[in-house]
Amino acid sequence: MKHTILQILLVALTATGLTATAGTLKIVTTTSDLAAIAKAVAGDQAEVHSICSGKEDPHMLQAKPSYILQARDADLWIRLGLELEVGWEPPILDGSRNARIREGTRGHLDAAESALILDIPTVKVTRAMGDVHPQGNPHYWLDPLNGRRIAGAIAERLAEIAPDGAATFRANAAAFQRALDERMFGAALLKTVPADRLWDMTEDGSIAAFLADSANRDNAAGWLAAMQPLRDQKIVTYHRSWIYFAHRFGLGIAGEIEPKPGVPPTAAHLRELAETARQQKVQIILQEPFYSRKAAARLAGEVNARVVVVANSVGGQPEATDFLTLFDLIVKCLTDR
């Protein structure tokens, strides 16, 4: 009896060993945006799965057995971090019994470490402030520059996990970054000014002065040129999820429909917000499809603004098939009149 149990265990162990080594790399990401970037970097060298589909709010996800199965076979687990996945990542990682992807190993990549992070609290945060993330605002994938940086981090990590593919991963990441640069600035502008310099100018805001020059303005294309008419405009968003996008494109945020992060709107807050929005001449109210549109519609009526409902993640709407088309879609929705 003891022998048979041992034999069964041994066979099972060998079987798991085999499944772990055979085949291509398996990457599991917590969100669809990270999956889109990982796909671009890994190319055909890895299978990439995302836990969130892009249609749901990653704050609210619940662990389920099939997620554990995905994590069980993963060689690399990539998360957004900043405690966004705190409610469901631990049971999945624990349940997977996959020592390769435990936090602190090289199979566990926290994308936030390579990203530019905003909204890092400078005072002690308490839960009375709502769903404030003590390490910073986790919606950083909505800054295209962060997509660029995350691609680099994924390439480097993959190069460590699978050194044979290192050159491919780095080349793929560079190609993704070039494509992103072109979508952001347009090919003509990139011929005259290096991409680094242009990203720098979007960071410190000097891009506005730069584009005031008609030669530069004529060369500019892509998201930068499309968003130019909205520069310095104030918008209202539902959740504090668009600050990265706004920062990169020079939009101002007048306020949020949620009185505190994660707290549903109240009538009193909406009255106050309407006042602010009127003062700041808000013309756009921006929100994700999964939030109720009632509050935004009401506010829009009061302040004569238009409501823009657009996905904030790859897969959230059919058009957003990858990281680049996500921004195509957002820019199109914001600029369509």
Partner 1 sequence: MRFSSVYYLFPLVAALATAPGVAQTANPDTKPETVQSLQAEITRLRQQMEEQRRAFEERFGLMEKKLQELSATAPLAMAASNHPAAVAGPAPATYLPVLSSRLGAAGQSMNPDVSATIDLNYHADDAKEGLSHVLGELPGFGHAHAGGEEHHHGVANGFNMSHLELQFSAEIDPYFKGSAIAAISEDGAEMETAEIETTGLPGGLKLRGGKFFSDFGYLNAQPSHAWDFVDRPLVYQLLLGDHGLNDKGLQLSWLAPTPFYLLAGIEAFQGDNEVAFAYHGEDPLPQRDGPRLWVGWLKAGPNLPGNHGLQFGVFGATGNHQEEHDGNADTFADHWLDGDSSFWGGDVVYKYNSPKPYGQGDFTLQGEYFARHRDLELVAVDAGGPPPALIGNRRMDDQDGYYVQAVYGILPRWRAGLRWEQVGLTNASELPDGASESYGTSYRVGPMVDWSLSEFSRLRLQLNYGDYETAEGQESVTELYLQWVVSLGAHGAHQF
User: Within 281-310, which residues bind partner 1 (CB under 8 A)?
Assistant: 290-292
Query: What does the alpha-carbon distance between residue 81 and residue 170 come to, in Å, rounded to a whole number?
Result: 23
Establish if 209 lies at the interface with partner 1 (CB under 8 A): no
Among 45, 47, 49, 95, binds partner 1 (CB under 8 A): 95
Q: How far is the CB of 273 from partner 1 (least distance, A)?
A: 19
21 binds partner 1 per the rule CB under 8 A: no
Quote the CA–CA distance of 67 and 52 in Å, as a whole number: 10
Shortest Cβ distance from residue 26 to partner 1 (Å)?
13
Contact 257, 296 (CB under 8 A): yes
Per rule CB under 8 A, is residue 113 in the interface with partner 1? yes
Torsion over CA: 224, 227, 231, 234 (sign): negative
Q: Which is nearer to partner 1, 141 or 199 (CB)?
A: 199
Q: Does 195 bind partner 1 (CB under 8 A)?
A: yes
262 binds partner 1 (CB under 8 A): yes
Q: Does 145 sit near partner 1 (CB under 8 A)?
A: yes
| CB 291 within 8 Å of CB 159 | no
Tokens encoding 104? 């602190």
Is 237 a residue that touches partner 1 (CB under 8 A)?
no
For residue 111, state whether it binds partner 1 (rule: CB under 8 A): no
3-state secondary structure of 255: strand
CB of 46 to partner 1, least distance (A): 17
In residues, how long is the chain?
337
Closest approach of Cβ 48 to partner 1, in Å?
Answer: 17
Q: Is 269 in the site for partner 1 (CB under 8 A)?
A: no
CA-based radius of gyration for the chain? 22
Q: Which stretch binds partner 1 (CB under 8 A): 110-118, 212-220, 226-234, 294-302?
A: 110-118
Among 26, 108, 183, 248, binds partner 1 (CB under 8 A): 108
DSSP string, 215-253: HHHHH--HHHHHHGGGTT-EEEESSTT-HHHHHHHT-EE
Please report how close the Cβ of residue 90 comes to partner 1 at its closest, in angstroms.
Answer: 4
Residue from 57, 182, 319, 328 binding partner 1 (CB under 8 A): 57
Between strands 108-110 and 76-79, the pairing is parallel
Positions 60 through 79 that interact with partner 1 (CB under 8 A): 60-66, 68-69, 72
Measured CA distances, 79 to 84, 134, 154, 226 (Å): 9, 17, 11, 31
Cβ distance 310 to 330 under 8 Å? yes
Q: Is 25 in the site for partner 1 (CB under 8 A)?
A: no
